[in-house]
Structure 1
Amino acid sequence: MADWDDSPTVLIFGDSDAGIAAARRSAANAGARVAAAMPIAAAIDRLNIQVTTDLVVVDVSTDHGDMLDRLLDRLDAEAEMGNHASVVTVTPALIDIAAARIRQPGVALLATPDATERALAVAEMLGRPRLGLHDIKSDGGQARLQKLSEEVGRIARTLARLSDEVQPAPAMRERASPPPLPPADAAAMTEASDASTIRAMIRARRLRDQYFGNELFADPAWDMLLDLTASRIEQRPVAVSSLCIASAVPATTALRWIKQLTDTGLFKRIADPLDGRRVFIELTDRAAQGMRGYLTAAARLGTVVV
C-alpha cells in the first residue's frame, strides 16, 4: 500500500468525467494524492477553504465565460504568491482565452495533451521528475516520456544560453550590444525585410516536412521567429493559437516554447485592445533586430535560409 504521509496533494477541477479521470491518472503517475476532484463550478469556493495544496489540476473542454476567467486569474495569482502550482489543460479553441490569463511560470498550460504530456507536466509542477512509468508503458508512454523529458532539457539549455545574450533584465547584467554589421546594399536590405521572402522560407520548411516528416527537422523556435518576423513587417497581430500552428509542432510543445521564449525576452505579450480575453505575441525589439541582422547578412551572402 502506498504511503501518503509525505505525498504531495492535488486538487482536480474539470468539466467532464474523462478530463477528471485523466487528471487523476496523471496525479497517480507522479505519486501524488488527490485531495478532491470536483466540477469547475465548485473550484473557487473550494480554493477559498482549502488550507494548503501542492498542485491544482484543471481540465476544461468548454468556455465557461467569467467563471473560467476568474478561476484562471486565481490560479495565476496563487502561483505568483508561491502558494501552489497549477496545470491547466484546454482544447485548441480555448488556447487564446487561457493564454491571456496565465502569465506565471508556476502555471503550465497544455492543449489536448496525451497521457504522457499530462504526466510530465504534473511531475514538473510538483518537482518530482520520477514518474510511475509502469502506468503508461502499455501505450508506448515510456519512450514518449523520455522524448518529452529530453525536449524539456533541450529547451532549458537553449534558453539558458540565450538569456545572457538577449534578456535585458536585470539591468546590471545587460551585455553591450554586438558590433553593428557592415552597411548592406539596398537590395539585400529590401530582400531581408520582405515579408513575402520570409513566407517563402516558411513554405520551404513545410515542403521539407512532406518528404522527411516533421519530427526529423522540428525546430519550433525558429518557425515561430520567422512567422513573427514576417508578421511584424506586415503589421499583422499574431494570437497565441496562430503561433502554435506556425510552430508546426503539437500545441502543448508550442505553448511551452512560447512561454519560455517570452520569459527569456525574445517574445512579448501584447493585450488585444478589442478583446480582453486574448493576447497577441510579438518579437521584442532586440529579437527583431537580431532577426533583421541575420537575414540581412544571409541575403548579402546569397544564402538560402530554410
Structure 2
Amino acid sequence: MQADFLYDAAEDGAGCQLGVTVLADRAHIRGELRDDAEAAGFRILHSCSLEEYARGAITALGDVVLIDCAEDSAQSMAMLARLDMRAGKAGAQMVVSTTMGALDAVFGCFSFSAPQILVDPCRSERVIAIGRVLAHVPNLRLRELGEEDRLMLLRLTEQVGRIAERLEKLPAGQRAGGGAFRFESPSQGWHAEGDEYTIAPAQSQRPRLPEASFIRRIIRQRQARARFFDGELFADPAWDILLDLSAARAERCQVSVTSLCIAAGVPATTALRWISQMVDAGLLMRVSDPHDRRRAYIALADASADAMARYFAEVGADGSVPVLA
C-alpha cells in the first residue's frame, strides 16, 4: 500500500515540526514506518533497530515513537521498559507493533506511556495508528475528548480499519494482517491476593456473579452464532470481554491479554483498543504479576463486577435457565 497523499508538516503549537523516532528490528517494516511518518509530515530523528538504539548514546526521544518488536527477547523487553518510562515522562506518543506470540511480554513492558499496540498489523493499520497519534499530541489537541467522543472515535477507527484492510486486499490479493460508562462507587468485596482473586463474603443484599459454568455456557451460545451467520454481524467485543472476565472472576483465575483478545472475537489490535478504552473508563484494571513484573493481567474493576452481578440478577440469570446474553 503506497501513500496516496503528502501532508503539510506536523507542527506543535510553537510551529516546530514534530520529530519521530523509528525503532524496528525488521528492516522492511522500518523503511515503511519511516516513509509513512515522513508522508504524515513528521521529521525523522532516529531510524534503527532496537539493538542499535540501545547501544548508542542516550538522546532525546521524538514527539512520536514508532516501534516494531516481533520477538520477546530479554534484551528487547528491557529496552521497551526503558522506552516506556522515558516516553511516559516526556509525554511522547508511542505506536508499538508486535506479534501474537510476543503480545503478553510486550504488553507487560508498558505501564506509563499508554501506547497504541498493534498485533500483526498490515501497513494500512500502522498508517491509521500514526494518524490517531495527532489527536493525542498535547500541543495539537483542540479540546478534551469526552467518553462519548472516545467511544465514537473507537468505533470510527474500527470501521476505517476494516475498509482500509479490504482495500489493501483488492489490488494484489495480499493478505492483510491480521465511553459513556457510569457505575456506582466501587465495592470493597474483593482484593487480589497472590495468583488468585480472593472474594470476601458479600453483603446479603448484594447479588453475586453466577457460577462460572453458567457464564461460560452463555459465551458458547454467543460463539455458536458464527457457525450460521457472518460473525461480524454480532461483533460486540466490549460485552464479550466483560463476560469472559466475569467467568474468570467467578473461577478466581487470572486472564492474560492474549487470552482476552481471543475471547473478544475480533482482531487482536481491535481487541486491544477496546481493552485500553475500558481500562481508561474504569471498567477494567491492569493487575501486575507479583512473581514477574514483566507480565500483566486484566481483570474486572470492582464496580464492573458489581454491575455484572446486578445485570445477571435483573435478567433472572441464576444459573438454572440458560440465557443468551
Whether these two folds match at TM > 0.5 is yes
| Contact 1:229/1:291 (<8 A) preserved | yes
Structure 1 residue 244: Cα displacement: 0.6
Paired with 1:199 and 1:80, the residues of 2 have a C-alpha distance of 38
Structure 2 CA distance for partners of 1:235 and 1:3, relative to 1, 3 Å: closer
- Which residue of 1 is the match for residue 159 of structure 2? 147
Structure 2 CA distance for partners of 1:246 and 1:166, relative to 1, 3 Å: farther
- Which residue of 2 is the match for residue 111 of structure 1? 119
The C-alpha deviation readout for 1:135-182, integer Å capped at 9, x for no partner, is xxxxxxxxx96813799xxxxxxx1x21x43687xxxxxxxxxxxxx9
**Aligned amino acid, residue 42 of structure 1:** E
Structure 1 residue 193: Cα displacement: 0.8
SS at match of 2:58: helix
1:165 lines up with 2:183 in the alignment:
yes
Structure 1 vs Structure 2: percent identity of aligned residues? 33
1:202 lines up with 2:206 in the alignment:
no
1:275 lines up with 2:292 in the alignment:
yes
Q: TM-score, normalised by structure 1?
A: 0.75
Paired with 1:166 and 1:22, the residues of 2 have a C-alpha distance of 46
Structure 2 CA distance for partners of 1:245 and 1:289, relative to 1, 3 Å: same
1:285 to 302, 305, 309: 302
The worse-fitting range, judged by mean Cα deviation, of 120-129 and 73-82 is 120-129
Structure 1 residue 246: Cα displacement: 0.5
| Contact 1:116/1:145 (<8 A) preserved | no
2:107 to 90, 99, 113: 99
1:60 lines up with 2:73 in the alignment:
no
Q: What count of residue pairs does the alignment treat as equivalent?
A: 263
Structure 1 residue 30: Cα displacement: 2.5
| Unaligned segments of structure 2, at least 5 residues | 1-5, 12-16, 138-155, 164-178, 187-203
Structure 2 CA distance for partners of 1:5 and 1:299, relative to 1, 3 Å: closer
Structure 2 CA distance for partners of 1:2 and 1:183, relative to 1, 3 Å: closer
SS at match of 1:147: helix
| Contact 1:238/1:280 (<8 A) preserved | yes
| Unaligned segments of structure 1, at least 5 residues | 130-143, 152-158, 169-181
- Which residue of 2 is the match for residue 140 of structure 1? none
- Which residue of 1 is the match for residue 146 of structure 2? none
Paired with 2:56 and 2:38, the residues of 1 have a C-alpha distance of 21
Q: TM-score, normalised by structure 2?
A: 0.71
1:88 to 83, 96, 103: 96
Higher helix share: 1
Structure 2 CA distance for partners of 1:111 and 1:28, relative to 1, 3 Å: same
Find runs of 4+ consecutive structure 1 residues off by over 6 angstroms: none
Paired with 1:213 and 1:30, the residues of 2 have a C-alpha distance of 35
**Aligned amino acid, residue 204 of structure 1:** Q
Paired with 1:146 and 1:24, the residues of 2 have a C-alpha distance of 24
Structure 1 residue 20: Cα displacement: 1.0
Paired with 2:220 and 2:101, the residues of 1 have a C-alpha distance of 25
Paired with 1:146 and 1:292, the residues of 2 have a C-alpha distance of 29
| Contact 1:79/1:106 (<8 A) preserved | no
- Which residue of 1 is the match for residue 14 of structure 2? none
- Which residue of 2 is the match for residue 19 of structure 1? 29
| Contact 1:20/1:37 (<8 A) preserved | yes
Paired with 2:57 and 2:127, the residues of 1 have a C-alpha distance of 23
1:222 to 239, 246, 255: 239
2:40 to 30, 41, 46: 30
Structure 2 CA distance for partners of 1:290 and 1:28, relative to 1, 3 Å: same
- Which residue of 2 is the match for residue 70 of structure 1? 78
Structure 2 CA distance for partners of 1:101 and 1:251, relative to 1, 3 Å: same
Structure 2 CA distance for partners of 1:146 and 1:30, relative to 1, 3 Å: farther
